[in-house]
Structure 1
Amino acid sequence: MDLSDLFPSVIPPPQSHLLPQRWPGVDQSSTATLIEALKDNHERWHLFFNDRGFHNHTAHRLLALWTLGGSAPLLETAYEKDKKTQRKVIASPSEITTENFTKHLGDEVYYRAYLDFFVDAIKRDGVAATLKTYLFSYRYNFGDGTLGSRPYMLDRFVAGVIHPLIHVGYGVEFGIPGILAEGLAQTCAHPALSTVLMVEHLFPQEDHKDHSELASATSLLSSVIISSSTMPENPPSVPASGPHALTILARVLKDDLFSPRRPHNTEQSFTAVLEDRERVEKIIQYADEWLSGTPGNVEQKFEELAWMNVVIYGVGGFTKSKTFNADFFTMHLVTTSLFVPSLARAVKLSSQLALLHVYFATSLAHYVGRGRPAIDIGNFYDNTSRGVLPLELREPVSLEKYGARGVKIVSNPWLPLIQSALWHPDDHIPKVQRTLAHYARLYGHRHSGHFSGLLADADDKLPSLEKLDSTLFLRVAGLTMSRLGWMREGQPAGAWDRHGFFDA
């Protein structure tokens, strides 16, 4: 495939209400600028911009800015900034083939070779079959005797604070084969660190089918399972099968097994959790319970993930001292959750369940690893605002022309949020605000009391859960911007917090 095939000039619109919609501002000029920058990034730069394994976020930032309506000059400026810190991609010592696929897994020197391998695979087999084979098949996770060591590809997919999932998710969401190939190559460059969370029975051993037949069947099945008409307007807060994710979260909070433990290195808190066999077994048990009876109810699980991970980051980050700990690691639980529906659309039901299981278990492990922050919903709602903008930065609109003399309001609090996110130099800000804005659109009709049905068992409830409503997303977006700085409006830059929640 040449670059024009890997990065098509026309990006198709979202095919489901579950996927983020594009903001006004996307046009021919911004799209052309986006595609040229993505091509250049694909050809020139490595997936890590340093030898510590820090990820090249160039494609993430550009795609987030573009879909939020960022102009061509803004995209050009963002790419010029990102180029200054990147490492050049180097030729790998040898090519990657099916025969030596597992030999160089976890070795970033072979990133380019894996990238070439997946470009060929996508061209030959298509997107659906490539994802099925290399992420969700038994063979490429637990092996079949022909690959040597176990590849554990789905485990690598959620490594590195779940960055490979983000990259592949962008490729699938926007229909860009080059981004998808980069994400799969990035998956191969990560170590398999959380294999203890991999559950073998979720990967059925299937006969190898003709790839074209598999791609056709997968496309048909995913269109049936994930369609714009399958999700009820106001599904019951009590799940029809399996406990709600927020119920599981309440159980984790009350389980002494998960009491906070400060690791030697707080940035290695995730792997510290995985070293405790008892904790791992309980996390797997919770993931099993959460998915019990899920087939036919997949979309509800997407929504549960959205609420749980935003609650972990936002409510968990709002401390008793009424300050916001914008934890860098739990923030990634928010941004990664956005891509789960896109990925699920591309694969069949058995793969959807494997994805949901490993992602849910990984989310819980990160939450526990960061110190299991308290979830005080009452404190959060009593002390946060839907006004978002700090008082000193507000320019409210007078309603005198409407006959309401002296009344001033903020017209739409999301507009200054997105405007500031577009402008902010931190590349995570547009990603997290895009996610929160999408959830506010998708779940904006969830009113206080919606989750009251989860309160039947007092031992499995989050305190003040009845207060939880769709303003959660706006409140968390405002807290995030205040912590990182309303820089467009003149505030100094803030920073993500990395110290965890071990002193609470």
Structure 2
Amino acid sequence: MLATTRTAPPIKRSLQGLTASASKKNKLNQMTMLTSTAPTAARPLTPLVLSLLQRNHNEHHMYFAGGLHNHFPHTLLSQFALGASEERLNREWSLEDPDLEKLGEPVQNIAMNEDNWREFIGIRRYYPNYLKFFDELVQRDGIIPTTVKYAFDPVLIPSVLSGLLHPLIHIGFGVEFSSPLVTAEGLAEACTHQPKMKPVLDATRKHLELNQSASHLNYNRKRIVEFFDTLRKDARLDGMVTVDNDDKTAATIQKCAEVIAEYANLWKIEETPAGIQDALHTLFHTTTDLYASTGLRPGHPASPRLDFFLLHLFTATLATRHLLPHLTIAASRDLLHAHFTICLTFYIARGRPPVQPTLLLALPVKNSPALKTWDQIAQYAHESEDLHVPKVVRTLKIAEEMYGQENDLWIQAARVTIDKLVIKAGEWDRDGCGYEETWGVEAEYPERGNH
């Protein structure tokens, strides 16, 4: 095989102000009670995994190289859950440790506490202070109560959902694997992110308050292609964000928030346990299609192109899944809807590429004898030194365990990932495959470690 180059207790409505207010008919202390078969780890965390997580926690900062995110817990836990050997897990440390920055000491004379913690949100240099604060809270109050209280605080939730969803992903790993260390890191990471997604989240809430009428294009799993085709062809967005924008996400937030809100509110999530289950299923389908079916042009030498930004929408879906059982029905609805809103934002920023699941399922890689089973795919994931491939593969595997094969959607997306990034040693696409100009040139932004 070829390796790639490195590249709780019920709560009140905690997302209030993020999206729409819930129907008063719902009891706020009713939990979602997801009955999923999605596994956490294949086995309890071993002493080696626990010791490596502790070393990362004690030694490494959340940010390095000017703002890239520390992915070590994501990759380590994903490799572990996919069955990696201890040798491979130790190798992950040796691969990532040289690039990561030292944690450093907390900023002096700033004692973070339950009264002042909101005052420093968005300032990265306070990460050690926040980490100490959340370490103490998680030890005192537990993982779930601390996560629910702080991650879904109305002031912090826009930051949790910013940074390409990295804080959400990190918190999700902490909750899923019952790791106090990873949970505290994720909460500290959220507190040191600017709430850049707040404008689109606020616009979505305000739009729904003013527009309660039904639409002919209510969003659901059967209408994913139709929905995104309509958004792709919406002339109001033409020219708003171009391939020449240095920060396409910022330009999208600045110029397109009202249109994003309009489309986001076409998803009507039923506020019942069954409705939340169905919405999660829809989110898994949506993010899989955005990740795996948008960079396809049969016969083009660059196809398939797997967008580095859209992949995070997908892997964050697993984090959302693991948080939902600890939220009320109303807060669960808001988290799912907010995640969807972020998906629309990045879909526009990446150039509104066509969503083509039929083409995805027809790709010849489905016949590859080396990629017939999940065990084969996992072996390639172990070979890869990429920080995201194991996470993508594991999330797809869990989706199949939750929802069945569904025409081989999940395993086909995994095959495409492995074939492109491991077997053929390809790179993540950073140009935006929805921009026609990017199909005629080599990628300008090859994979540089992580984001």
**TM-score bracket for the superposition, by shorter chain length:** 0.7 to 0.9
Q: Counterpart in 2 of 1:293?
A: 270
- The residue identity in structure 1 corresponding to 2:253 is L
RMSD: 2.5
**Structure 1 stretch displaced more, 83-92 or 251-260:** 251-260
1:115 correspondence with 2:94: no
Q: Counterpart in 2 of 1:310?
A: 288
Equivalent of residue 383 in structure 2, options 413, 416, 423: 423
Equivalences for residues 33-182 of structure 1 within 5 A:
33-51=48-66, 53-93=67-107, 94-137=110-153, 141=154, 152-182=155-185
- The number of residues matched between the two structures is 384
Distance 1:180 1:431 in 2: 17
Deviation at 1:377, TM superposition (A): 3.7
Equivalent of residue 255 in structure 1, options 234, 241, 259: 234
- The residue identity in structure 2 corresponding to 1:187 is A
Distance 1:382 1:55 in 2: 35
Change (3 A) 1:176 1:190: same
Change (3 A) 1:126 1:325: same
Aligned partner of residue 175 in structure 1, secondary structure: coil
Deviation at 1:158, TM superposition (A): 1.5
- The residue identity in structure 1 corresponding to 2:366 is R
- List gaps (5 residues or longer) in structure 1: 1-14, 142-151, 204-240, 395-409, 447-468
Contact 1:58 1:82 survives alignment (8 Å):
yes
Change (3 A) 1:60 1:292: closer
Distance 2:227 2:359 in 1: 21
Q: Counterpart in 2 of 1:275?
A: 254
Deviation at 1:265, TM superposition (A): 4.1
Equivalent of residue 329 in structure 1, options 309, 312, 318: 309
Distance 2:53 2:332 in 1: 28
- The residue identity in structure 2 corresponding to 1:311 is D
1:480 correspondence with 2:439: no
Change (3 A) 1:78 1:288: same
Change (3 A) 1:18 1:252: farther
Equivalences for residues 281-430 of structure 1 within 5 A:
281-296=258-273, 297-322=275-300, 323-388=303-368, 394=370, 412-430=372-390
Contact 1:46 1:87 survives alignment (8 Å):
yes
**Structure 1 stretch displaced more, 100-109 or 429-438:** 100-109
Distance 1:126 1:485 in 2: 39
Change (3 A) 1:201 1:274: closer
**Structure 1 stretch displaced more, 60-69 or 127-136:** 127-136
Contact 1:248 1:290 survives alignment (8 Å):
no
Contact 2:264 2:341 survives alignment (8 Å):
yes
Deviation at 1:248, TM superposition (A): 3.6
Distance 2:158 2:77 in 1: 25
Change (3 A) 1:251 1:350: same
Q: Counterpart in 1 of 2:28?
A: none
| TM-score of the superposed pair, with normalisation by structure 2 | 0.79
* Larger RCO, structure (CA 8 Å, separation 6 or more): 2
Aligned partner of residue 316 in structure 1, secondary structure: coil
Q: Counterpart in 2 of 1:228?
A: none
Deviation at 1:21, TM superposition (A): 5.1
Contact 2:269 2:279 survives alignment (8 Å):
no
Contact 1:155 1:193 survives alignment (8 Å):
yes
Distance 2:257 2:412 in 1: 33
Distance 1:31 1:351 in 2: 34
Distance 1:444 1:41 in 2: 36
Distance 1:421 1:311 in 2: 21
- The residue identity in structure 2 corresponding to 1:500 is G
Contact 2:75 2:388 survives alignment (8 Å):
yes
Deviation at 1:202, TM superposition (A): 7.2
Distance 1:483 1:327 in 2: 12
Aligned partner of residue 289 in structure 1, secondary structure: coil
Deviation at 1:259, TM superposition (A): 4.0
Equivalent of residue 243 in structure 1, options 214, 219, 222: 219
| TM-score of the superposed pair, with normalisation by structure 1 | 0.71
Distance 1:475 1:327 in 2: 16
Deviation at 1:437, TM superposition (A): 1.4
Aligned partner of residue 69 in structure 2, secondary structure: coil
Distance 2:123 2:58 in 1: 19
Distance 2:90 2:156 in 1: 34
**Alpha-carbon displacement from aligned partner over 1:57-93 (angstroms, at most 9, x marks no partner):** 1111110011111111211111121111110011122
Change (3 A) 1:281 1:289: same
Aligned partner of residue 106 in structure 1, secondary structure: coil
Contact 2:271 2:329 survives alignment (8 Å):
no
- List gaps (5 residues or longer) in structure 2: 1-33, 207-216, 440-451
- The residue identity in structure 2 corresponding to 1:17 is S
Q: Counterpart in 1 of 2:39?
A: 20
- The residue identity in structure 2 corresponding to 1:295 is T
Equivalent of residue 496 in structure 1, options 423, 428, 432: 428
Deviation at 1:16, TM superposition (A): 5.0
Change (3 A) 1:100 1:171: same
- The residue identity in structure 2 corresponding to 1:290 is W
Q: Percent identity?
A: 27
Aligned partner of residue 46 in structure 2, secondary structure: helix
Contact 1:153 1:187 survives alignment (8 Å):
yes
Distance 2:204 2:428 in 1: 38
- The residue identity in structure 2 corresponding to 1:441 is E
Contact 1:197 1:358 survives alignment (8 Å):
no
Q: Counterpart in 2 of 1:455?
A: none
Contact 2:269 2:333 survives alignment (8 Å):
no
Aligned partner of residue 373 in structure 1, secondary structure: coil
